[in-house]
Amino acid sequence: MKEYWASLASILGVLAFCQSLLQVIFPPELRFASLKLLNRIFNMFTSYCYFDITEIDGVNTNELYNAVQLYLSSSVSISGSRLSLTRALNSSAITFGLTNNDSIFDTFNGVTVLWEHVVTQRQAQTFSWRPLPDEKRGFTLRIKKKDKNLILDSYLDYIMERANDIRRRNQDRLLYTNSRGGSLDSRGHPWESVPFKHPSTFETLAMDPVKKGEIMEDLKDFANGQSFYQKTGRAWKRGYLLYGPPGTGKSSMIAAMANYLGYDIYDLELTEVHTNSELRKLLMKTSSKSIIVIEDIDCSINLSNRKKSGGGGANPMGRGGGYYDTEMRSGSGSNGEDGGNSITLSGLLNFTDGLWSCCGSERIFVFTTNHIDKLDPALLRSGRMDMHIFMSYCSFPALKILLKNYLGYEEGDLEAAVLKQMEEIVGKAQMTPADISEVLIKNRRYKHKAVSELLEALKGRAERNLKNGGVREKINLMNNLELESEEEEQEKRALESPLEGSDVEDSCQKDEDEEEEKK
């Protein structure tokens, strides 16, 4: 047996020697033919097969090369004697990789494979539309012939998937804006981006834990729901409407969503968009795994424009009679009421719901508003915004989260009596998490003072609300009384008016009769 291996090794050695000799002596055509022949003989004796994954495929970058590089960076042990270190654009993480002509073993489904990073100098520059790097880089994958099918079926898919995960984890999230209006940058992009570093997370977000849990679950289900959306024939997107008073955490919630799912954010400034087609182009240039945000939607666009349009009618729910068509044609800009901004509600609905909304996938739309009552029912109907989330004034569970965030107080750290007082009063105080955060930040170095000032602030607001509430009740009562007396007056007038009317009619008739008689 030993002898067999020795002779096989010497044959392979001779073949390798012949290969390199051929490269030096023969002209290219002959060299190519003989290399092919030698490779065949070589393949007959070896139990391995090899796959080359080059960095550049023709003139295009080979995605698989980048994926393998990233994938191997997660399995290369830091103990290696020489590793290459890279930090990608928009990334705060450093990745390790194989240096030139280095190799590494990897195991997948119990099968061991060998990866080699092959770097050679590029020979005379061939014609290309774009300059190619001086070095030719590629990975060679060595697999036992018997494992070839087993591994190729799923191994490469697995690598692509893992690489995408790593890329997402390493890359900073981006915040895009369309503040340049409709103009494009040098690469034809309408969006400008900056690294997104908002620290808000669901852990720091002060709100009812049950509601928070529901939202997190909904987001996770959405992100893992590719097959569900495929199966049910729905576009893979979801809409959230966040509403509530200012300072209750709507923007913080969006940041928490992005950080939770690892999505980018597209902050769409509707006032910068001039036409529906511009809106569509912006949508087409968003990437998947992103959150498209329209803040203060009630202020961004004249959503009541359909009422002003002739065909819209006054019935806000009226969808018959070509309601949307009329809307399309009669954007507020067309009649100049909106400073030339002709984006319409139907354009917006098409943006979130129409066929164009499906270019790309795994996208979340978030609208925020302080006045849900001002929104058009078409925006609120079920299926359009899948979840309506009310961001309310600070509740007791939310208050506990803020105390933990700013003062580091856990559940048992505060006196039970103080907590009880807070619990009783926080609902009546109607303070937003932003208000409470202000008090806590101001005194964060002196925890006791922070707590006592917070209690004072809560009490003060509760009392004021009670007084205002009392006054408001009185005003409402007076208003009601006034209304009632006004209604009574109107009724009286209505009852009297037919008499007055008949009087007038009668006198007119009398005058006419008299004139007739005179004639």
Ligand X SMILES: Nc1ncnc2c1ncn2[C@@H]1O[C@H](COP(=O)(O)OP(=O)(O)OP(=O)(O)O)[C@@H](O)[C@H]1O
- Interacting residues toward ligand X by CB under 6 A: 204-207, 246-252, 370, 391, 433-434, 437
Beta carbon of residue 121, minimum distance to ligand X (angstroms, whole number): 55
454 makes contact, choosing from ligand X, Mg ion, none, with CB < 5 to 8 Å by partner type, with: none
CB within 8 Å of 55: residues ≥ 6 apart: 61, 62, 65, 133, 136, 137, 138
Shortest spacing between CB 367 and ligand X, in angstroms: 12
Please choose which of Mg ion, ligand X, none residue 345 contacts, taking the beta carbon within 5 to 8 angstroms, the exact cut-off set by kind: none
Q: What are phi and psi of 120, to 5 degrees?
A: -130, 160
Closest CA to 210 of 389, 4, 404: 389
Between 215 and 349, name the residue whose CB sits nearer to ligand X. Answer: 215
* Closest distance to ligand X from the beta carbon of 419 (Å): 19
Query: What CA–CA distance (Å, rounded) separates 464 from 451?
Result: 20
- Residue 249 and residue 435: Cα distance in Å, rounded? 11
Count Cβ neighbours within 10 Å for each residue of 249-273 and write b for 16 or more, e otherwise.
bbbbbbbbbbbbbebbbbbbbbebb
Residue 247 binds: one of ligand X, Mg ion, none (C-beta under 5 to 8 A by kind): ligand X
* E strand segments, 99-225: 103-108, 111-121, 135-144, 173-177, 192-196
Least separation in angstroms between CB 458 and ligand X: 16
Which residue type does 313 have? G
CB of 481 to ligand X, least distance (A): 36
Q: Distance of alpha carbon 2 from its chain centroid, rounded? A: 63
Check: CB of residue 53 under 8 Å from CB of residue 68: yes
Nearer to ligand X, 104 or 434 (CB): 434
Binding mask of the shown chain, residues 135 to 164, with x at each position contacting Mg ion by CB under 5 A: ------------------------------
Closest to ligand X by CB, 434 or 455: 434
Interface stretch with Mg ion, choices 176-184, 199-207, 248-256, 373-381 (CB under 5 A): 248-256
Closest CB to Mg ion among residues 117, 250? 250
Instruction: Give the other-Cβ count within 10 Å of 156's Cβ.
Output: 17
- Give one word for 220, left, alpha or beta, with left for phi > 0 and alpha for psi -120 to 50: alpha
Q: Considering the complex, what minimum distance in angstroms separates the CB of residue 251 from ligand X?
A: 3
Q: Give the length of the chain.
A: 519
Q: Smallest gap, in angstroms, from Cβ of residue 410 to ligand X?
A: 17
Evaluate whether 470 touches 432 at the Cβ level (below 8 Å). no
Q: Which of 73, 200, 248, 251 binds Mg ion (CB under 5 A)?
A: 251
* 403 contact, one of ligand X, Mg ion, none, CB 5-8 Å limit per kind: none
Distance CA 435, CA 462 (A): 14
**369 belongs to the binding site for Mg ion (CB under 5 A):** no
Residue nearer to ligand X on the CB measure, 371 or 510: 371
Nearer to Mg ion by C-beta: 250 or 400? 250
CA distance 385 to 266: 17
d(CA 107, CA 155) in angstroms, rounded, equals: 10
Give the residue with the Cβ less far from ligand X, 239 or 433: 433
190 binding partner (options Mg ion, ligand X, none; Cβ < 5 to 8 Å by kind): none
Least Å distance, CB 205 to ligand X, is 5
CB closer to ligand X, 94 vs 441: 441
Task: Choose one: 105-113, 249-257, 351-359, 416-424; the region binding Mg ion (CB under 5 A).
Answer: 249-257
Q: How many residues bind Mg ion (CB under 5 A)?
A: 2
- Of all residues in this chain, which one has the CB nearest to ligand X in the complex? 249
Q: Which two tokens stand for residue 363?
A: 């996208």
Residue closest to 270 by CA, chosen among 260, 262, 278: 278
Minimum CB–partner distance for residue 368 and ligand X (Å): 6
- Interface residues toward Mg ion, by CB under 5 A: 250-251
